[in-house]
Amino acid sequence: MSANELPVTDGEAAAPLHASIHGDGPAGADHGGEGVWARAWRTLRRNPVAIIGFVIVAVFVLVAVLAPLLAPYGGTELPGRADVRPTLIPGPSAEYPLGLDRYGGDVLSKLIWGAQASLLVGVLSTLFGLTGGLLLGLLAGWFGKWVDFAVMRLVDLMLSVPSLLLAVSIAAIVGQSSMAVIIAIGVVQVPIFARLLRGSMLAQKGQDYVLAASALGLTRRSVTMSHVLPNSVGPVIVQATLSLATAVIEAAALSFLGLGGGEPSTAEWGRMLTAAQQELAVAPRLAILPGICIAVTALGFTLVGESLREALDPRNRTRR
Amino acid sequence: MLRLIVQRLLLLIPLLLGLSVLLFGWVRALPGGPVQAMLGERYTPEAAAEIEAQLGLDQPLIVQYGKYLLRLLQGDFGVSLQSGRPVLEEFFTRFPATIELTVVALVFAIGIGIPLGYVAARRAGSVVDHSAVVVSLIGVTVPVFFLAFILKYLFAVELGWFPTTGRQSATMIATHPTNFYVLDGLLTAEWDAAWDALVHLILPGIALGSIPLAIVARMTRAAVSEVQNADYVRTARAKGIKASRLRGQHILKNAMLPVVTTIGLQVGLLLSGAVLTETVFAFSGIGSFLADSVFNADYPVMQGFVLMIAVVYALVNLLVDVSYGLIDPRLRRQQ
């Protein structure tokens, strides 16, 4: 958070200068002595929806990180292989609390390892999208003019193809593996982040505190890096949280379309859901359990993202 | 208005050119290169030589791209590796199915989403309001193919109320002059065929409609809550206007503007995004064919369909912009 605090102090230093011109506070600065983030945090703590979201996300992350300790069996182990017949997939028992799947894997263990796989895909693809979007957005915002034009047309192009098709096309080039899924989902996020960053940087550019900073003789680079960028970060964090939800869902969709690569028995929610298709009438739990895991995880990230968006929205600030 | 349409159509040209460059590059980036991609398992040295000559692979890239563009303009999108038929033909035979599915999904989304969002806004904090929130969260967080699974399992497999797969029962004998199966049944007076096709559309329509339902309900709720607190609504109420007129003329009509745009944007996404739903229900539209082409590494189909879908998407967005100008008098005056 320290990087985000920077413009607040700088903004306050600059405030007297432009306050005499406009009598209006800089966007990033705060007159109550409380930062934007501290205020957002205070709002979030009192919001039950946000708390539910945080709890879901926390449980998900804990399960993912502690998978080796929590899961009774390894992710690739098939402990019940001998017990499974083509006509009989054993349901819940003392040994396998959520039953077996048709490969003889322990469903509980696979769900736990699946959390790890989802977290990995979500975080890595979002980081990929964020980095790419940041680079493109910075490039456009920094150079402006024709670079801006070229970058934004590229972004338009990428957005003109529906995201799932874009991901599928990219996966076709990269090959079938979990890395391909991460790259495909990440690339889909790039134009979204690029447009968002550029938009909010442009909005910041017109702000008085930026004018003040330039008037004080700061170089364009330091204005961009230490004033404009940190102040544009709010919507990006919101989008990143929401894109973690999308990533979990899209990864499942790509698995469903057969682009995940690897063994069909892999401990991954989307793959489990896809494999369960054949046993829908015999053992619906095999589809329902991973489906619920995907939905609840996506719900957690969505709730956190949406309440964060609300908490950071300056329009909601004046109402209290 | 005409000027706006022409302007937007002209803007399509650079978009399509850009896309064609990307797709041209995409085929060349595929593992095994373009020849392998175009031939797939039917790879023989003779066929490879023929394709190489056709694509002009020995010539500079810019010439190759020019040839590719020329073929596209002539409607030659290549041949499907799965079926051996031209890609464009495959697209147009299947497109009516996807349009039918989209219509059902939209009817579902609008028919429930707008009343739900309206009541939720008018009775903020009520049971309806809370259920609207739940509906819009389900649409965003439940993967569409999982929802499709569940619907199929519950209503087709367990209860047997609806057929599990396909566009029409295999036993149904029907003629298809337009490939819109419901419409075909009505045109040829084969009522049972039309009904059968409609029943096949219900479950996939609901699954596909879940996302726009969430978005429409949410947008309607937001727009109505904003409009109902507007000064002119207060004035109208103070004048003692009839409640039904206040609802229809003052609140709903004005709140619908952003909702219409949202719906329009969803149409484009639905037409293209039915890949997962169509696959679950083995519904033979463009989506399931595209999914098959992914399974079978049918690159000509992937390339052609992506381009066609982008064109449809852009055209639908154009229509939305134009209709927006028609329904919002403020925009009409500006032009």
Cβ of B295 within 8 Å of Cβ of A257? The answer is: yes
Cβ of A245 within 8 Å of Cβ of B294? The answer is: no
User: String of b and e for A291-320 (b: at least 16 CB within 10 Å)?
Assistant: bebbbebbbbbbbbbbbbbbbbeeeeeeee
Nearest to A157 among B15, B295, B313 (CB): B15
Distance in angstroms (rounded) separating the CA atoms of residues A159 and A115: 29
Instruction: Give A81→chain B minimum CA distance, Å.
Output: 26
Q: What is the largest CA-CA distance in chain B?
A: 83
| Residues 6+ positions from A212 with CB-CB distance below 8 Å | A14, A15, A17, A18, A26
How many residue pairs from chains A and B have C-beta atoms closer than 8 A? 115
Q: Are B272 and B288 in contact (CB under 8 A)?
A: no
Contacts of B144 in chain A (CB under 8 A): 253
Cβ of B143 within 8 Å of Cβ of A294? The answer is: yes
Residue B32 Ramachandran class (φ > 0 left, ψ -120 to 50 alpha, else beta): left
Question: Which position has the higher pLDDT, A261 or B67?
Answer: B67
Helices in chain B by DSSP H: which ranges?
A: 2-29, 33-39, 45-55, 61-73, 87-122, 127-141, 144-151, 181-187, 191-228, 231-238, 243-245, 253-273, 275-280, 286-295, 299-327, 329-334
Report DSSP state, residue B305. Answer: H
Note whether A167 contacts B: Cβ–Cβ < 8 A: no
Q: Are B276 and B94 in contact (CB under 8 A)?
A: no
Q: How far is CA A170 from the centre of its chain?
A: 19
Nearest to B137 among A249, A291, A299 (CB): A299
Note whether A150 contacts B: Cβ–Cβ < 8 A: no
Q: Tell me the average pLDDT across B60-66.
A: 81
**pLDDT given at position A310:** 80
Where do we find the tokens 């927006």?
B324
Distance in angstroms (rounded) separating the CA atoms of residues A165 and B58: 30
Is 0.80 topped by the overall pTM?
Answer: no
Note whether A168 contacts B: Cβ–Cβ < 8 A: yes
Cβ of B314 within 8 Å of Cβ of A302? The answer is: no
**B302 closest CA partner among B313, B287, B317:** B287
Q: Are A301 and A57 in contact (CB under 8 A)?
A: yes
Burial of A5: CB neighbours in 10 Å, binned 0-12, 13-18, 19+:
middle
**pLDDT given at position A34:** 64
**A196 closest CA partner among A128, A250, A127, A141:** A141
Distance in angstroms (rounded) separating the CA atoms of residues A241 and A248: 11
Give pLDDT < 70 ranges for chain A.
1-35, 80, 86-87, 261-262, 314-320
Q: What is the dihedral of CA B175, B96, B106, B275, to 10 degrees?
A: 120
Q: Are A207 and B65 in contact (CB under 8 A)?
A: no
Cβ of A257 within 8 Å of Cβ of B137? The answer is: no
Interface test with A, best of B38, B145, B266 (most A CBs within 10 A): B145
Half-sphere exposure of B120 (CA within 13 A, CB side): 24
Nearest to A162 among B280, B294, B313 (CB): B313
pLDDT tens-digit readout, B71-82: 888 888 888 877
Interface test with B, best of A57, A60, A121, A160 (most B CBs within 10 A): A160
Q: Tell me the average pLDDT across B139-158.
A: 83
pLDDT tens-digit readout, B272-313: 668 888 888 888 888 888 888 887 777 888 888 888 888 888
Question: Hey, is A90 helix, strand or coil?
Answer: coil
**A221 closest CA partner among A209, A232, A213, A212:** A213
pLDDT tens-digit readout, B156-165: 777 878 777 7
pLDDT tens-digit readout, B170-224: 676 777 777 777 777 777 777 777 777 777 888 899 888 888 888 888 888 888 8
Q: Are A118 and A269 in contact (CB under 8 A)?
A: yes
Counted residue by residue, chain A has a size of 320
Instruction: Give B267→chain A minimum CA distance, Å.
Output: 12
Where do we find the tokens 């083509």?
A86
**pLDDT given at position A132:** 92
Angle (nearest 5°) at CA B16 between B11 and B19: 135
Question: Hey, is A182 helix, strand or coil?
Answer: helix
**pLDDT given at position A28:** 44
- For B184, the token pair is 């075909």
Distance in angstroms (rounded) separating the CA atoms of residues A70 and A68: 6
Note whether A298 contacts B: Cβ–Cβ < 8 A: yes
Note whether A165 contacts B: Cβ–Cβ < 8 A: yes
Q: Where residue B333 falls among pLDDT bands split at 50, 70, 90?
A: low
Give the count of beta carbons closer than 10 Å to the beta carbon of residue B39: 19
User: Helix, strand, coil shares of chain A as percentages rounded to 5?
Assistant: 75, 0, 25
Cβ of A295 within 8 Å of Cβ of B142? The answer is: yes
Q: Tell me the average pLDDT across B119-127.
A: 82
Question: Which residues of B fall below an 8 Å CB-CB distance to A?
Answer: 14-15, 18-19, 22, 26, 29-31, 137-138, 140-146, 149-150, 152-153, 157, 268-269, 272-273, 275-276, 279-280, 290-291, 294-295, 297, 299, 302, 306, 309-310, 313-314
Give the count of beta carbons closer than 10 Å to the beta carbon of residue A152: 17
Where do we find the tokens 């967080």?
B141
Cβ of A280 within 8 Å of Cβ of B149? The answer is: yes
**pLDDT given at position A126:** 92
Percent of residues, chain B, with pLDDT higher than 70: 92
Cβ of A169 within 8 Å of Cβ of B140? The answer is: no
Nearest to B141 among A154, A161, A295 (CB): A295
Contacts of A269 in chain B (CB under 8 A): none
Note whether A169 contacts B: Cβ–Cβ < 8 A: yes
Residue B326 has pLDDT above 80, yes or no: no
Interface test with B, best of A118, A257, A273, A289 (most B CBs within 10 A): A257
Q: Mind listing the domains of chain B with CATH numbers? A: 87-334 (1.10.3720.10)
Distance in angstroms (rounded) separating the CA atoms of residues B70 and A237: 45
| Residues 6+ positions from B173 with CB-CB distance below 8 Å | B193
Question: Hey, is A257 helix, strand or coil?
Answer: coil
DSSP states of B21-44: HHHHHHHHHSTTHHHHHHHGGG--
Instruction: Give B185→chain A minimum CA distance, Å.
Output: 32
- For A280, the token pair is 């829908």
Note whether A161 contacts B: Cβ–Cβ < 8 A: yes
Instruction: Give A21→chain B minimum CA distance, Å.
Output: 33
Residue ranges of E strands in chain A: none
Distance in angstroms (rounded) separating the CA atoms of residues B174 and A311: 58
**pLDDT given at position A131:** 92
**pLDDT given at position A16:** 37
**pLDDT given at position B273:** 64
Distance in angstroms (rounded) separating the CA atoms of residues A292 and A35: 38
**B200 closest CA partner among B172, B159, B154, B162:** B162
